[in-house]
Amino acid sequence: MSSPAAPVQAAPPRPVRFGILGCADIARKVSRALLMLPPGVAAVAAVGSRSEEKARRFVAETGLPAARTHGSYESLLCDPGVEAVYLPLPTSLHVPWAMAASARGKHLLLEKPTALCAADLDAILAACDASGVQFMDTTMWIHNPRTAKMREIIADKDTFGDVRVVHSMCSFRASDDFLQNDIRVKPDLDALGVLGDIGWYCIRSILWAVDYELPQAVIAQRHPVKNQAGVLLACGATLYWADGKTATFNCSFLTNLAFDVSIYGTNGTIHVTDLVIPYEEKSGEFNVASKSNFVKPTIGWDPLPRKHVGFTDLPQEALMVQEFSRLVQNIRDAGGRPEGKWPTITRKTQVVLDAVNASIDKGCEPAEVAG
């Protein structure tokens, strides 16, 4: 009698091979995230910079000894061992290099703000679509399990009801050196200033809270603060929907660290005070109040707000890379199509940002939000 055939062993998953295009400080955080992922998910194949010396120094300092180094961005994009590109270059360089990456069939993880305006972003997204590559921006908190839990609560009509008001505040007190020399205050590098940097998070958090329903119009707050080069250092705006919903946000390089979001529904309220970067990278908390009322004779609240605390084995930046890699593997290994929700969410964030900018340019008059 013949012996039974040995079971066929499934091939281990092949990691997505990343190229890091540029050695910005934020790239160190994403490099660390890549190293934290389980085997078979992702690996850094190469790092490209404007000089090979800088690329080598980045590889050595971030613990990526197996990564090849390239002394130009073009050289990295021509590397056949790179399947996906993480692009943390200044915003003014996104269009040419994002389009060049997608034209070479490289999947694109693009640092936010993704573009200086929606027209530029549309060019990037069209190039990705033409090449059939996955696009995702780097709004990391979206991938935190805490975010999914908050979404679950907001979707519960009995607990939360309908969202009516949102307020978001993102700020940090920048140093004098930052305010003089950082790329985020240079009009030729990141002309959107604070609005593009952390205002992006404010706008995304508002859109997330209303399930990405675009507002009809925005009105920027008067007297935004700009530096001598005309780059925004502090600003804010109010967003308006046809059904009466409103949202406000403030973003600033001039006030103490804050990443607060408050979402007010007809039945409930959610408060989170560390949305963008959690106080601790493997846990996150938020407070929920539901069907609140006064204890008579107006001496307290009943029921009291509840604190929710969640835990995660991987920090949110690693979960972001893991999800992006999963989508790339589905395209590469299973013949799937790029996931369309990510470019859609990015574009909605961009058009609201554009409207805020337009309102500021018009002396804080109302600006319509493009569909």
Annotated catalytic residues are 112
In the beta sheet, which residues pair with residue 293? 302
Contact status, residue 190 vs residue 90, Cβ threshold 8 Å: yes
Contact status, residue 154 vs residue 236, Cβ threshold 8 Å: no
In sequence order, the 6+-apart residues with CB closer than 8 A to the CB of 117 are 350, 354, 357
In the beta sheet, which residues pair with residue 309? 285
Long-range contact set of residues 34-39: C-beta below 8 Å, sequence gap at least 24: 34/318, 34/321, 35/63, 35/64, 36/314, 36/315, 36/318, 37/314, 37/318, 37/321, 37/322, 37/325, 39/12, 39/15
Tokens 């092949």 found at: 14
Give the C-alpha separation, 268 to 159, whole Å. Answer: 6
Give the C-alpha separation, 315 to 115, whole Å. Answer: 26
Look at phi and psi of residue 69 and say left if phi exceeds 0, alpha if psi is from -120 to 50, else beta. Answer: beta
In the beta sheet, which residues pair with residue 248? 167, 238
Element at 290 (helix H, strand E):
strand 283-290
Exposed, middle or buried, 337 (CB in 10 Å: 0-12/13-18/19+)?
exposed
